[in-house]
Amino acid sequence: MRAGSSVVAFAFVAVAVALLLGDAVIRGSWLVAARASGVALLVLWAAWLLLIRPSIRVLPDRAVVTNVGRITEVPWSRIVAVRRRLQLILDLDDGRRVEAWGSPFPKRRLAGRSAASEADDPAATALRAAWLSGDDSSSAIVVRRADTLALLIGAGALAAAILTLTWAGAA
Protein backbone atom coordinates (compact mmCIF):
# COMPACT_ATOMS: atom_id res chain seq x y z
CA MET A 1 0.00 0.00 0.00
CA ARG A 2 1.42 3.35 -0.94
CA ALA A 3 -0.02 6.86 -0.95
CA GLY A 4 -0.21 8.45 -4.39
CA SER A 5 0.76 11.91 -3.14
CA SER A 6 4.15 10.65 -1.96
CA VAL A 7 4.88 9.30 -5.44
CA VAL A 8 4.02 12.69 -6.92
CA ALA A 9 6.26 14.45 -4.39
CA PHE A 10 9.15 12.09 -5.18
CA ALA A 11 8.63 12.65 -8.92
CA PHE A 12 8.77 16.41 -8.31
CA VAL A 13 12.09 16.06 -6.45
CA ALA A 14 13.51 13.76 -9.15
CA VAL A 15 12.48 16.13 -11.95
CA ALA A 16 13.94 19.12 -10.08
CA VAL A 17 17.27 17.30 -9.61
CA ALA A 18 17.29 16.21 -13.26
CA LEU A 19 16.56 19.76 -14.44
CA LEU A 20 19.34 21.25 -12.33
CA LEU A 21 21.92 18.68 -13.44
CA GLY A 22 20.61 18.74 -17.01
CA ASP A 23 20.96 22.51 -17.16
CA ALA A 24 24.61 22.26 -16.22
CA VAL A 25 25.20 19.58 -18.87
CA ILE A 26 23.34 21.52 -21.60
CA ARG A 27 25.39 24.61 -20.84
CA GLY A 28 28.55 22.54 -21.19
CA SER A 29 29.48 22.78 -17.51
CA TRP A 30 30.44 19.15 -17.14
CA LEU A 31 32.60 19.93 -14.12
CA VAL A 32 29.69 21.60 -12.31
CA ALA A 33 27.41 18.66 -13.14
CA ALA A 34 30.02 16.16 -11.92
CA ARG A 35 30.55 18.09 -8.68
CA ALA A 36 26.81 18.35 -8.00
CA SER A 37 25.98 14.75 -8.88
CA GLY A 38 26.98 13.30 -5.49
CA VAL A 39 24.79 15.74 -3.58
CA ALA A 40 22.00 15.14 -6.10
CA LEU A 41 22.21 11.39 -5.42
CA LEU A 42 22.03 12.06 -1.68
CA VAL A 43 18.93 14.26 -2.13
CA LEU A 44 17.27 11.60 -4.32
CA TRP A 45 18.07 8.88 -1.79
CA ALA A 46 16.61 10.94 1.06
CA ALA A 47 13.44 11.63 -0.95
CA TRP A 48 13.14 7.93 -1.84
CA LEU A 49 13.73 6.90 1.78
CA LEU A 50 11.09 9.28 3.13
CA LEU A 51 8.50 9.21 0.34
CA ILE A 52 8.69 5.89 -1.51
CA ARG A 53 10.34 3.26 0.69
CA PRO A 54 7.87 3.22 3.65
CA SER A 55 5.22 0.60 2.96
CA ILE A 56 3.04 -2.16 4.33
CA ARG A 57 3.03 -5.61 2.76
CA VAL A 58 0.25 -8.00 3.68
CA LEU A 59 1.32 -11.65 3.61
CA PRO A 60 -0.77 -14.70 4.55
CA ASP A 61 0.93 -15.10 7.94
CA ARG A 62 2.14 -11.59 8.78
CA ALA A 63 2.33 -7.89 7.98
CA VAL A 64 5.69 -6.48 6.92
CA VAL A 65 6.01 -2.79 7.83
CA THR A 66 8.87 -0.90 6.21
CA ASN A 67 9.60 2.46 7.82
CA VAL A 68 12.59 4.76 7.45
CA GLY A 69 15.62 2.57 8.08
CA ARG A 70 13.70 -0.26 9.77
CA ILE A 71 11.66 -3.29 8.74
CA THR A 72 9.26 -4.94 11.19
CA GLU A 73 7.58 -8.28 10.53
CA VAL A 74 4.49 -8.76 12.69
CA PRO A 75 2.71 -12.14 12.79
CA TRP A 76 -1.06 -11.80 12.74
CA SER A 77 -1.30 -13.69 16.05
CA ARG A 78 0.58 -10.90 17.87
CA ILE A 79 -1.79 -8.11 16.78
CA VAL A 80 -4.62 -7.15 19.13
CA ALA A 81 -5.90 -4.09 17.27
CA VAL A 82 -5.45 -2.14 14.06
CA ARG A 83 -6.23 1.53 14.45
CA ARG A 84 -5.77 4.74 12.58
CA ARG A 85 -4.17 7.98 13.58
CA LEU A 86 -2.16 9.76 10.93
CA GLN A 87 -0.65 6.36 10.12
CA LEU A 88 -1.98 2.87 10.62
CA ILE A 89 -0.96 1.54 14.02
CA LEU A 90 -0.68 -2.14 14.89
CA ASP A 91 -1.17 -2.68 18.63
CA LEU A 92 0.69 -5.78 19.83
CA ASP A 93 -0.21 -8.19 22.61
CA ASP A 94 2.79 -7.08 24.71
CA GLY A 95 1.69 -3.44 24.80
CA ARG A 96 4.06 -2.24 22.08
CA ARG A 97 2.87 -0.74 18.84
CA VAL A 98 4.13 -0.59 15.28
CA GLU A 99 3.39 2.55 13.30
CA ALA A 100 3.22 2.11 9.54
CA TRP A 101 4.55 5.33 8.05
CA GLY A 102 3.85 4.13 4.53
CA SER A 103 0.13 3.67 4.98
CA PRO A 104 -2.09 5.67 2.66
CA PHE A 105 -4.16 8.42 4.22
CA PRO A 106 -7.90 7.87 4.47
CA LYS A 107 -10.24 9.82 2.21
CA ARG A 108 -11.15 13.27 3.45
CA ARG A 109 -14.48 13.65 5.17
CA LEU A 110 -16.96 15.82 3.33
CA ALA A 111 -18.54 18.76 5.13
CA GLY A 112 -21.71 17.72 6.88
CA ARG A 113 -20.65 14.13 7.49
CA SER A 114 -20.38 13.41 11.16
CA ALA A 115 -17.99 10.48 11.30
CA ALA A 116 -15.65 8.65 9.00
CA SER A 117 -16.94 5.33 7.76
CA GLU A 118 -14.92 2.19 7.10
CA ALA A 119 -15.28 2.86 3.36
CA ASP A 120 -13.32 6.09 3.84
CA ASP A 121 -10.22 4.11 4.87
CA PRO A 122 -9.68 1.18 2.48
CA ALA A 123 -6.10 0.60 3.73
CA ALA A 124 -7.23 0.03 7.32
CA THR A 125 -10.13 -2.11 6.12
CA ALA A 126 -7.81 -4.31 4.02
CA LEU A 127 -5.29 -4.67 6.84
CA ARG A 128 -8.00 -5.56 9.37
CA ALA A 129 -9.48 -8.14 7.00
CA ALA A 130 -6.06 -9.74 6.44
CA TRP A 131 -5.40 -9.74 10.19
CA LEU A 132 -8.75 -11.37 11.03
CA SER A 133 -8.42 -14.01 8.32
CA GLY A 134 -4.64 -14.43 8.59
CA ASP A 135 -2.77 -17.67 9.11
CA ASP A 136 -1.75 -17.93 12.77
CA SER A 137 0.39 -21.04 12.30
CA SER A 138 3.67 -19.16 11.87
CA SER A 139 6.10 -18.26 14.62
CA ALA A 140 4.82 -15.58 16.93
CA ILE A 141 8.04 -13.59 17.03
CA VAL A 142 8.01 -9.95 15.98
CA VAL A 143 11.16 -9.42 13.92
CA ARG A 144 12.68 -5.93 13.83
CA ARG A 145 15.71 -5.36 11.65
CA ALA A 146 17.54 -2.60 9.87
CA ASP A 147 16.52 -1.89 6.29
CA THR A 148 19.89 -3.00 4.90
CA LEU A 149 19.08 -2.19 1.27
CA ALA A 150 18.03 1.39 2.01
CA LEU A 151 20.99 1.98 4.33
CA LEU A 152 23.51 0.59 1.83
CA ILE A 153 22.09 2.80 -0.92
CA GLY A 154 22.33 5.74 1.48
CA ALA A 155 25.92 4.91 2.36
CA GLY A 156 26.77 4.86 -1.35
CA ALA A 157 25.01 8.18 -1.91
CA LEU A 158 26.77 9.70 1.11
CA ALA A 159 30.15 8.45 -0.13
CA ALA A 160 29.44 9.95 -3.56
CA ALA A 161 28.44 13.27 -1.99
CA ILE A 162 31.58 13.37 0.18
CA LEU A 163 33.73 12.44 -2.80
CA THR A 164 32.26 15.12 -5.06
CA LEU A 165 32.34 17.78 -2.33
CA THR A 166 35.96 16.91 -1.53
CA TRP A 167 36.78 17.01 -5.23
CA ALA A 168 35.05 20.40 -5.52
CA GLY A 169 37.06 21.75 -2.61
CA ALA A 170 40.37 20.50 -4.05
CA ALA A 171 39.84 22.09 -7.46
pLDDT in tens, 64-116: 999 999 999 999 999 999 998 888 999 999 999 999 988 777 766 555 555 55
Q: pLDDT digits over 23-71, tens only?
A: 999 999 888 888 899 999 999 999 999 999 999 999 989 999 999 999 9
Whether the model pTM is above 0.85: no
* pLDDT of the residue at 159: 95
Tell me if 44 sits within 8 A of 14, measured CB to CB: yes
What is the spatial distance between Cα 75 and Cα 162, in angstroms, rounded to a whole number?
A: 41
> Where in the chain are the domains?
4-53+149-170, 55-146
pLDDT digits (tens, 9 = 90+) for 1-19: 455 788 899 999 999 999 9
d(CA 92, CA 66): 17
